[in-house]
């Protein structure tokens, strides 16, 4: 499936591995891939989100908690693939 951004999407196997063992740097890189621009990715990462209980995605990445980091990655995957539920 081609990405709407015009570049090839991250392979499903790579996404699955990232969900099992998310790293903050990989998640930040994926945010850049999803938004296609450093400023947009940084803005999204640093804006409080209702879905995250009013915390920013960046806050959750810095917790060191894999489950919290996974939440951010899962939201990015949903944005990337247009899943709005």
- What integer pLDDT is reported at residue 3 of this predicted model? 41
4 belongs to a structural domain: no
Cβ proximity of 77 and 15 under 8 Å: yes
Which sign does the torsion angle of CA 65, 66, 69, 75 carry?
Answer: negative
37 belongs to a structural domain: yes
Count: domains in the chain = 1
Residue with tokens 């879905």: 51
- What integer pLDDT is reported at residue 8 of this predicted model? 65
3-50 per-position pLDDT tens digit: 444 556 667 677 666 667 789 999 999 999 999 999 999 999 999 999
Question: Mean of the pLDDT values across residues 52-81?
Answer: 94
5 belongs to a structural domain: no
Is 52 exposed, middle or buried, given 0-12, 13-18 or 19+ CB atoms closer than 10 A?
middle
Expressed as residue numbers, the domain containing 17 is 12-81
The pTM (predicted TM-score) of the whole model is 0.77
Cβ proximity of 69 and 57 under 8 Å: no
Question: Mean of the pLDDT values across residues 66-82?
Answer: 93
């Amino acid at each position: 499936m081609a990405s709407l951004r015009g570049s090839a999407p991250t392979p499903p196997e790579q996404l699955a591995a990232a969900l099992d063992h998310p790293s903050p740097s990989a998640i930040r890189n994926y945010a850049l891939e999803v938004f296609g621009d450093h400023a947009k990715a940084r803005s999204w990462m640093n804006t409080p989100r209702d879905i995250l209980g009013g915390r920013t995605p960046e806050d959750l990445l810095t917790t060191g908690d894999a489950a919290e980091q996974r939440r951010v990655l899962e939201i990015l995957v949903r944005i990337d693939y247009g899943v709005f539920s």
